Amino acid sequence: MVGPWSTVGPHVVLGEECELISHVVLDGRLTAGARNRFSPFACVGVAPQDLKYRGEATGVTLGDDNTIRECVTISRGTAGGGGVTRVGSGCLIMAYAHIGHDSVIGDHCILANNATLAGHVIIEDYVTVGAFSPIHQFCRVGRHAYIGGGTVVTQDVLPFSLTSATREAHAFGMNKIGLERRGFDRERLRALHHAFRLLLAAKMNTTQAVEKLRAEGARSEDVQYLVEFVETSKRGIIR
């Protein structure tokens, strides 16, 4: 359904049962899956806010079952960043959130009101970004992470973590409640708790903590992923 005062560009492809409530702008080479719902004044696929952009044929892809609330902006990609901004399936993008060019959002993510993603940000599956939280260019947020409202993110956010800030961002530990809600059993939680204790609470630096976890054989697939996330971080991690 396309509601009143909405505009759909000539290169936009919409899946079945998408709904544009009213005053929605869909532009560029946007491809959206099924059952996406766009609220009033959402602008998706619009030109990136990048001075280097010269009208190249770039785009946005959306999966299925996403809710895009009022005044959300999702910019299309740039030639220098891969050309596509991607959003997975089952995401809730709340009012006034912004997803910058060439960003990649996984499945089942929540971006609360006024969450702001600069260009080239990677958000993995099941991440929650709190209200009024800006994320710096080229940062990566690991899956199942929870970022508290008003947190300024300038480095990578550990997967499974609870990260928040009053003045400076800190990882406060494991996102225990969120992981329990997603069905993590005691053994998975116990292994992750041990890993976070070494990374955040033990009297050792990040390299030493990772080496110890490696020496222990990484107690679970979750811990293995956590260790690999730290080792491949390009901007450093928030501790």
Write the single-letter amino acid at 106: G
Which residues, including other chains, have CB under 8 Å from residue 193's CB and lie 6 or more apart?
Answer: 174, 176
CA angle 218, 223, 224 (to 5 degrees): 65
Give the C-alpha separation, 187 to 165, whole Å: 29
d(CA 3, CA 211): 56
Closest by alpha carbon to 60, among 48, 42, 52?
Answer: 48
For 116-160, give the DSSP string.
Answer: EE-TT-EE-TT-EE-TT-EE-TT-EE-TT-EE-TT--B-SBBPTT
- 222's tokens: 């979750």
Q: Which residues are catalytic?
A: 101-102, 119
Query: Is the backbone of residue 85 left (phi > 0), alpha (psi -120 to 50) or beta?
Result: beta
97 C-beta neighbours (distance < 10 Å), count: 26
Beta bridge mates, 135: 117, 153
The Cα 41–Cα 147 span in angstroms is 26
